[in-house]
Amino acid sequence: MKRLLSLDFFRGLTIAGMIIVNDPGSWSHVYAPLRHAEWNGATPTDLVFPFFLFIVGVSISLSLSKRKGSSNLYLKIFKRSIIIFLLGIFLALFPKFDFENLRVVGVLQRIAVVYLICAIIYLNSSFKSQLKIGVGLLVFYWITMMFVPFNGNIQELSSLETILLHGLIVLLFPEECIKELGILRDFTVPFQQ
């Protein structure tokens, strides 16, 4: 299979940017563009994750367009998503394996979820439908950013993320499993008085 050199170069450049951002040398003297923007604005650091998602999207288009008729393609997509998700969990736990402070929704986990959803959309819809889904998601995102009050408080954003994760857990796992494993034992709904 012939590789797209420009995509490989962009992937390498993005990985190099990720390494520089995650290990700037001394955390007490970090060059300002290597920090995330506090709330509004953007720095080069804030582009690393979107660049990875762009690379995933281009890769989906290039690799799946040739295999659309394959019988076990959905199994491969699901398997790859699970592997990326579990790798993200492992890297979040390594080296101390502190399950108390595990961040389930890390970067690799998000990439795995995006890959799974986008690959399924790509295989089951026309370009016109994909365009409608993309525009619809952008409009939804814009409405959320414009009309859901966060007041610049980053903690409120992570609280929204926690609520969405809680909803996903409730949908995916039976109630007995949640109670037995104690998955949501420390969960409290933010914004309650």
Residue 36 catalytic? yes
Rounded distance between C-alpha atoms, residue 113 and residue 90, angstroms: 16
SS3 content of the chain, % helix, strand, coil (to 5): 70, 0, 30
Rounded distance between C-alpha atoms, residue 37 and residue 49, angstroms: 14
User: Among 25, 36, 125, 157, which one carries the catalytic annotation?
Assistant: 36
In the three-class reduction of DSSP (H, G, I as helix; E, B as strand; rest coil), residue 191 is classed as coil
The position carrying tokens 């610049």 is 152
Rounded distance between C-alpha atoms, residue 83 and residue 36, angstroms: 28
∠ CA 131-161-125, rounded to 5°: 20
Residues 6+ apart with CB under 8 A from 45: 21, 33, 34, 35, 36
**Positions marked catalytic:** 36
